[in-house]
């Protein structure tokens, strides 16, 4: 056993003087234990004056057992090297000696522990002797019990891989010293934590950032809760950010049930902002960072929930801004669904913040999923089992059922879901009856249209899924919820309809619902009082609200440009709602396909494919530029450089810096060109030669792609000049054309010796290397591609007629060709080679390059360096220096700001801001720029220009807020309003301003399109609301759903607040009062009903 373990850990290194044995993740806590308790540590011995038990560091548990110190014999006080072993006046002491054989002691103890474990498990065979069944490389019983060596030991805090800032941890292993690091947990959970949760808690205790990518319902929130508790213990703050305000409200309710101090900051709500835990949207945190809010200095943890929201095209940039701008003292916790490039994203975060970050990804769902197809005639067939195996027999059966093969369909269905199932006319009635019969409720039915959600819910209007007690519970909850509303709002059509549906255990959930209804549905669903929920995909994002079953009405959705199949990440996010942890052994996912069964490849990709990678959505905005220029804490170039979009380049930065230093040294040592003849025009001669070669390669490649041209080029016996890593500008004989994976190439015969060899140089076409025929020549056949061809000559030699038809060359044929070629070589030195005249191409590019190449070839004899007798050597010297100089320039460019992809756009936007007077020529932010910094919910340029043009001075508050809705409302599909009077004039002015700014943007090389972003659909609605019209009346003015109207009006209140801030900066008291009044006019009734979560 001990010998086996010694071999097992032979790669581990120990410093027996300091006992430097560390667990897998290096950290200060375990090192402090060694340094403080074990420096000069012995295995203690029993002596006359002191009895000390030998301590043990258990490699399996990671526990360090304390020292047991017995009372020293008071009569015996020895001296060692002049030092007392017992302090004066004290009755006890300790002896300290150097440790001996610690490694053997650890292995012996470990062997004993494992031996006992194997004995208990009935291993039944001696381990330590190699057997035929345990060959090298095959894990033994001991190996299966042990972590790998790299998991068990590491010796330094430095990154394992140079340049890496993120480390992927094994989510199934608990750190060895977990108990000592988390000896006194900041928060006690009523359940045993999973291994991945312990990993996260462990690193939070050590002050390290973590990225937890876990499956739905795995328990990511535990990590957030522990960070909040840790902040409370440290008397610091934790900020919890969410992508949307609704999710912020939900989390506020959840955390308030757990912690005493919880605050909420959203656009329209501010509750307990001084709490130790404050919940807010990512946009609010960005605004605080730009303003330099004092609160940030007290923040220890920032928790980013739903990190995969970084992929959002509109708002993903906000996440990158915040991560870049957070101060160094903040520890980051990122929570996300499983994504394929967590390590890449975490590495970017770590590099940006110069702090290591640890990635913890769950390997599997806590509740596995089974995926079914619901086909015609009510058949439900399993196609993917809980081990994520695609079941081809099940898929074939679904196809047969769809085709009407009743004989095959009469057999028992896969998974037993359709036994006794009776076909019904209504699809959703059929499905709900089946789910109820098989106890598969509650269920979420995902539909990719708000209108379809409503229609599908109407399709089961006759179903009642609630018992009397459940009806009573729903009634009591709804009464308490709607009582917060005014009497006239309690009878709104949407509320009345939802009351009736919820009483039967049915509900819908989409963005068109009134916020109070949406929240009521969510709360009732979380309490198990909604049995069937028809929802859009927005329900899949946010708090943990799992169901027993998830049903897809379709797997195709409209993404704004056209219909497409769900991406694997989208499907996984929605399907992940199936399966309640602790209640269900498996979750059930059903895809309805009454018309056509999806293709096998489509299903495999969607169900089993990798989710979408996190990609940078970083883009420059005028608000970002002005804020950065104003605060001067971070240069715009630095912001671009640190963005996720530049991650690849920044990761290679250290290597580029190293190569730059090496290139500079090589250039200093490189030989200089010291020739008065060549110095005159060698540079121009070299550049001309390069241009000729580049154009020639392009032409030759096109010739090989053309059938007619390639036959002429590859005509057996043709003499061409080639240049590669072995042969330098030598003539060869074409034998035939050969197809390869990279295109067509030429099989050629070459006669060469050492006189033809040399460094690969871009030699001009007239610098031919002739083999020295006086020396022995080697014969070989090579394949040359167009990039290795320098010249196609007009010369040809005689070759056997059937040479091109044979698969292998005959020796006698090659001998014959060699004789002819040798004779040609001897004659060739005395004459200038002529190029084959290239016929006219249909391609304009080829003809242009032919002309350029032809003209440049005429200039080669005119260069004075051609007269140098040592031209070839000097050309080589210049080539080497030229390569080093170009490499140096390339590295300097990559290390400079000029390599940033967004730098040209930044310069263009900055130039426009200077033109408009937002910044001066020195880059200092002016008054207009400071005003634009206040605007986040509307277009900053359009609104600022309107403010400085006094466009709102003649308008009433109701008219101003109505016109602003054209920049706040986001729905694309809305009926056109009928505007007149001041509203029509105001909107026309708004359009004119958008056109003017679009034109100026395009003049600066930027895209326009500002007019297309205006959405006038709710101008009349908002105007009437501001005049005091009831909500039921304004809904009749548009086809926009109630929830979208409320969302627009609530956001307009934020806009009014921003413009008040702008008016204060401008000193415009009249505008300030107007916006204050506008805010008061719209802030009423159902639109600003308090959240049920607050």
Q: Where in the chain is the domain with CATH 3.40.50.300?
A: 159-361, 369-608
Longest dimension (CA), the chain: 114
Cis peptide before 442 (omega within 30 of 0): yes
CA distance 787 to 206: 57
CATH (one of 3.90.1150.10, 3.30.70.141, 3.40.50.300, 3.50.50.60) for 369-608: 3.40.50.300
Three-state secondary-structure class, residue 604: helix
pLDDT 10s digits, 348-384: 999 999 999 999 998 888 899 999 999 866 678 999 9
pLDDT 10s digits, 245-298: 888 888 998 899 999 899 999 877 889 989 999 999 999 999 999 988 889 999
Residue 1017 binned pLDDT confidence (cut-offs 50, 70, 90): very high
Given a cut of 80, whether residue 663 has pLDDT beyond it is yes
pLDDT of residue 764: 65
CA distance 1020 to 986: 12
The neighbouring-strand residues paired with 756 are: none
Closest to 359 (Cα-Cα) out of 369, 349, 368, 370: 349
User: How many residues are present in the chain?
Assistant: 1094
Average pLDDT over residues 625-649: 90
Q: Where in the chain is the domain with CATH 1.10.3380.30?
A: 934-1088
CA distances to 440, 956, 1070 from 951, rounded to whole Å, are 60, 11, 13
Least confident of 533-537, 613-617, 841-845, 1050-1054: 841-845
Average pLDDT over residues 298-321: 91
Least confident of 331-335, 444-448, 795-799: 795-799
Radius of gyration from C-alpha coordinates of the chain: 38
Average pLDDT over residues 650-659: 86
Closest to 909 (Cα-Cα) out of 553, 583, 651, 622: 622
pLDDT 10s digits, 962-998: 999 999 998 877 888 888 899 999 999 999 999 999 9
CA dihedral 772, 774, 780, 786 (to 10 degrees): 20
pLDDT of residue 624: 94
CA distance 456 to 445: 9
Q: Where in the chain is the domain with CATH 2.40.30.300?
A: 682-869
pLDDT of residue 378: 67
Any idea which fold 159-361 has? Rossmann fold (3.40.50)
Any idea which fold 682-869 has? Elongation Factor Tu (Ef-tu); domain 3 (2.40.30)
| Look-up of token digits 């004789």 | 819
Least confident of 152-156, 564-568, 790-794: 152-156
For residue 782, the surrounding DSSP H or E stretch is strand 778-784
pLDDT of residue 952: 94
Closest to 77 (Cα-Cα) out of 87, 68, 67: 87
Q: What share of the chain is helix, strand, coil (3-state, %, to 5)?
A: 45, 15, 40
More confident residue, 352 or 729: 352
Is 311 in contact with 348 (CB distance < 8 Å)? no
What sign does the CA torsion over 918, 924, 927, 933 have?
positive
CA distance 821 to 813: 12
Question: What's the mean per-residue pLDDT of the chain?
Answer: 81
Is 798 in contact with 716 (CB distance < 8 Å)? no
For residue 552, the surrounding DSSP H or E stretch is strand 549-552
Is 788 in contact with 744 (CB distance < 8 Å)? no
Q: For the domain covering 934-1088, report its CATH number.
A: 1.10.3380.30
pLDDT of residue 1080: 95
What tokens appear for 649 in the block?
Answer: 């380049």
More confident residue, 405 or 25: 405
CA distance 480 to 294: 39
CA distance 732 to 723: 10
CA distance 584 to 570: 23
Residue 217 binned pLDDT confidence (cut-offs 50, 70, 90): confident
Three-state secondary-structure class, residue 971: coil
CA distance 135 to 682: 66
Residue 794 binned pLDDT confidence (cut-offs 50, 70, 90): confident
- Report residue 484 CA to chain centroid gap: 42
CA distance 538 to 557: 13
- Report residue 741 CA to chain centroid gap: 34
The neighbouring-strand residues paired with 360 are: 169, 212
Please, what is the angle between helix 195-205 and helix 221-234, to 10°?
Answer: 20
Burial pattern 661-673, b for ≥16 Cβ within 10 A else e, equals: eebeeeeeeeeeb
CA distance 209 to 359: 9
| Look-up of token digits 């996440």 | 319
pLDDT of residue 1050: 93
| Look-up of token digits 């400085």 | 948
pLDDT of residue 140: 46
Is 905 in contact with 624 (CB distance < 8 Å)? no
CA distance 1057 to 1002: 31
For residue 733, the surrounding DSSP H or E stretch is strand 730-740
* Percent with pLDDT over 90 in the chain: 43
pLDDT of residue 210: 96
Other Cβ atoms less than 10 A from the Cβ of 367: the count is 23
Is 803 in contact with 813 (CB distance < 8 Å)? yes
Given a cut of 60, whether residue 705 has pLDDT beyond it is yes
DSSP H helices in 206-279: 221-234, 245-256
Is 1014 in contact with 991 (CB distance < 8 Å)? yes
10 CB-contact burial (10 Å; exposed 0-12 / middle 13-18 / buried 19+): exposed
pLDDT 10s digits, 47-71: 333 333 334 444 434 444 444 444 4
CA distance 844 to 353: 51
- What are the φ and ψ backbone dihedral angles of 460, each rounded to 5 degrees? -120, 35
115 CB-contact burial (10 Å; exposed 0-12 / middle 13-18 / buried 19+): middle
CA distance 919 to 925: 4
pLDDT of residue 765: 61
Is 306 in contact with 242 (CB distance < 8 Å)? yes
pLDDT of residue 542: 62
Three-state secondary-structure class, residue 613: coil
Average pLDDT over residues 833-843: 78
Output the DSSP codes for 318-368: HHHHHHHHS-TTPEEEEEES--TTHHHHHHHHHHHHTS-EEEEE-SS-SS-
CA distance 143 to 63: 20
pLDDT of residue 804: 59
Other Cβ atoms less than 10 A from the Cβ of 28: the count is 12
pLDDT 10s digits, 876-930: 889 889 989 999 999 999 888 888 999 999 999 999 999 999 999 999 999 999 9
CA distance 946 to 804: 78
């Amino acid at each position: 056993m001990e010998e086996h373990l010694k071999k097992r850990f032979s790669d581990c290194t120990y410093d027996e003087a300091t006992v430097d044995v560390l667990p897998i993740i290096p950290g200060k806590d375990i090192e402090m234990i060694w340094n403080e308790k074990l420096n000069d540590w012995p295995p203690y011995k029993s002596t006359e004056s002191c009895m000390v038990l030998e301590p043990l560091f258990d490699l399996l548990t990671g526990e360090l057992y304390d020292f047991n110190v017995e009372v020293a014999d008071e009569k015996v006080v020895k001296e060692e090297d002049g030092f007392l072993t017992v302090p004066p006046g004290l009755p006890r002491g300790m002896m300290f000696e150097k440790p001996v054989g610690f490694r053997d002691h650890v292995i012996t103890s470990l062997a004993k522990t494992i031996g006992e474990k194997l004995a208990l498990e009935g291993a039944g065979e001696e381990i330590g002797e190699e057997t035929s069944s345990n060959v090298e490389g095959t894990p033994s019983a001991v190996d299966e019990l042990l972590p790998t060596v790299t998991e068990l030991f590491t010796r330094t805090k430095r990154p394992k891989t140079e340049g890496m800032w993120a480390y992927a941890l094994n989510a199934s292993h608990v750190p060895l010293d977990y108990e000592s690091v988390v000896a006194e947990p900041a928060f006690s959970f009523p359940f045993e934590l999973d291994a991945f949760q312990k990993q996260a808690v462990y690193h939070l205790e050590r002050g390290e950032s973590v990225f937890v990518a876990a499956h739905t319902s795995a328990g990511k929130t535990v990590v957030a809760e522990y960070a909040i508790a840790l902040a409370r213990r440290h008397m610091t703050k934790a900020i919890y950010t969410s992508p949307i305000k609704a999710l912020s409200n939900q989390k506020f309710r959840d955390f308030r049930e757990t912690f005493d101090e919880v605050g909420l900051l959203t656009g329209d709500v501010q509750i307990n902002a001084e709490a130790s835990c404050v919940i807010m949207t990512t946009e609010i945190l960005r605004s605080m960072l730009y303003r330099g809010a004092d609160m940030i200095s007290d923040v220890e943890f920032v928790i980013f929930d739903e990190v995969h929201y970084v992929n959002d095209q509109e708002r993903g940039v906000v996440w990158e801004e915040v991560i870049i701008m957070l101060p160094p003292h903040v520890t980051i916790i990122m929570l996300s669904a499983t994504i394929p490039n967590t390590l890449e994203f975490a590495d970017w975060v770590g590099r940006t913040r110069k702090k290591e970050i640890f990635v913890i990804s769950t390997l599997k769902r806590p509740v596995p999923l089974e995926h079914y197809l619901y086909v015609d005639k009510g058949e439900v067939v399993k196609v993917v089992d809980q081990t994520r195996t695609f079941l081809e027999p099940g898929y074939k059966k679904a196809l047969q059922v769809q085709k009407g093969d009743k004989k095959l369909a009469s057999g028992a269905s896969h998974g037993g879901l359709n036994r006794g199932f009776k076909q019904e006319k209504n699809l959703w009635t059929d499905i709900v009856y089946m789910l109820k019969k098989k106890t598969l409720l509650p269920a979420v039915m995902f539909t990719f249209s708000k209108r379809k959600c409503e229609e599908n819910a109407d399709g089961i209007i006759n179903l009642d899924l609630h018992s009397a007690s459940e009806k009573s519970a729903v009634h009591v909850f709804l009464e308490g919820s709607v009582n917060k509303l005014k009497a006239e709002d309690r009878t709104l059509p949407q509320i009345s309809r939802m009351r009736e549906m919820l009483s039967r255990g049915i509900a819908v959930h989409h963005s068109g619902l009134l916020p109070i209804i949406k929240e009521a549905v969510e709360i009732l669903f979380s309490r198990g009082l909604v049995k069937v929920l028809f929802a859009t995909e927005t329900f899949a994002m946010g708090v943990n609200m799992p169901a027993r079953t998830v049903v897809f009405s379709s797997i195709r959705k409209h993404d704004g440009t056209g219909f497409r199949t769900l991406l694997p990440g989208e499907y996984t996010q929605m399907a992940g709602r199936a399966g309640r942890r602790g209640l269900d052994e498996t979750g059930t996912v059903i895809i309805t396909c009454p018309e056509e069964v999806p293709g096998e490849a489509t299903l495999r990709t969607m169900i089993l494919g990798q989710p979408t990678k996190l990609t940078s959505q970083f883009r420059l905005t005028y608000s970002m530029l002005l804020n950065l220029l104003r605060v001067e804490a971070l240069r715009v170039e630095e912001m671009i450089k640190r963005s996720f979009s530049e991650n690849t380049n920044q990761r290679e930065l250290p290597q580029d810096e190293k190569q730059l230093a090496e290139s500079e040294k090589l250039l200093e040592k490189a030989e200089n060109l010291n020739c008065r003849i060549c110095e005159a025009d060698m540079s121009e001669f070299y550049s001309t030669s390069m241009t000729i070669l580049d154009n020639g390669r392009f032409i030759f490649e096109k010739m090989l792609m053309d059938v007619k041209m390639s036959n002429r080029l590859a005509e057996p016996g043709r003499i061409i000049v080639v240049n590669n890593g072995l042969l330098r500008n030598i003539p060869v004989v074409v034998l035939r054309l050969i197809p390869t994976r990279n295109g067509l190439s030429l099989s050629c015969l070459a006669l060469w010796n050492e006189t033809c060899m040399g460094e690969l140089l871009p030699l001009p076409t007239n610098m031919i290397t002739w083999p020295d025929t006086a020396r022995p020549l080697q014969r070989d056949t090579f394949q040359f591609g167009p990039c290795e061809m320098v010249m196609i000559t007009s010369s040809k030699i005689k070759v056997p007629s059937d040479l091109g038809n044979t698969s292998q060359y005959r020796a006698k044929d090659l001998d014959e060709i060699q004789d002819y070629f040798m004779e040609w070589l001897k004659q060739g030195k005395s004459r200038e080679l002529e190029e084959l005249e290239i016929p006219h191409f249909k391609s304009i590019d080829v003809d242009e390059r032919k002309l350029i190449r032809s003209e440049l070839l005429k200039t080669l004899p005119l260069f004075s360096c051609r007269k140098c007798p040592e031209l070839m050597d000097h050309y080589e010297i210049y080539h080497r220096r030229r390569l080093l100089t170009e490499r140096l320039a390339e590295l300097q460019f990559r290390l400079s700001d000029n390599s940033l992809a967004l730098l040209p756009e930044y310069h263009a936007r900055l130039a426009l801001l200077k033109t408009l007077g937002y910044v001066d020529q020195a880059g200092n932010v002016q008054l207009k720029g400071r005003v634009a910094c206040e605007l986040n919910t509307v277009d900053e340029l359009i609104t600022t220009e309107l403010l400085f043009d006094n466009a709102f001075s003649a308008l009433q508050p109701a008219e101003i807020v109505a016109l602003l809705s054209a920049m706040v409302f986001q729905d694309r599909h809305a009926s056109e309003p009928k505007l007149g009077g001041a509203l029509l004039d105001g909107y026309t002015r708004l359009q004119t301003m958008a056109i003017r700014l679009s034109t100026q943007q395009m003049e600066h090389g930027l895209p326009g399109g500002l007019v297309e972003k205006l959405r006038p659909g709710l101008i009349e609605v908002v105007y009437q609301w501001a005049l005091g019209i009831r909500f039921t009346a304004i809904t009749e003015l548009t086809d926009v759903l109630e929830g979208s109207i409320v969302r627009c009006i609530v956001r307009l209140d934020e806009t009014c607040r921003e413009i008040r801030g702008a008016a204060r900066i401008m000193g415009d008291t009249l505008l300030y009062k107007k916006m204050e009044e506008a805010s008061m006019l719209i802030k009423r009734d159902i639109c600003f009903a308090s959240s049920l979560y607050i």
